[in-house]
Amino acid sequence: MQVDVLLFGPQAALAKRDSVTVEVADHSATTGAVMQAIRDELPQLAPTLDQSRLAVNHEYAAEYEQLNETDEIALIGMVSGG
């Protein structure tokens, strides 16, 4: 299954794009598999991924949440501010 992942802020700048399409097996289409696929596809983001989470359909997702092809997925990096 192909999964489109939206990228924002510093991660989008590091990747030089605002989204990435990764491939995960249909039977293991989980947020954990997507994070590993991002790590493989965009190694320059690897240092930021341990402090990042995926949002699925505008809500933070659990580490091994099952995904559907129609889900909107976004990589959310660490945010600071006041």
Domains observed in the chain: 2-76 (3.10.20.30)
pLDDT digits (tens, 9 = 90+) for 15-25: 999 999 999 98
pLDDT digits (tens, 9 = 90+) for 27-68: 779 999 999 999 999 999 999 999 999 999 999 999 899 999
What gap in Å lies between CA 17 and CA 26, rounded to an integer?
25
Q: What are phi and psi of 12, to 5 degrees?
A: -65, -40
The whole model's pTM is what? Answer: 0.90
Angle at 20 between CA 17 and CA 26, to 5 degrees: 175
Helix H or strand E segment including 49: helix 46-49
User: E strands within the chain?
Assistant: 2-6, 19-23, 53-56, 59-60, 73-76
Whose structure tokens read 């802020």? 9
Give pLDDT, residue 33. Answer: 95
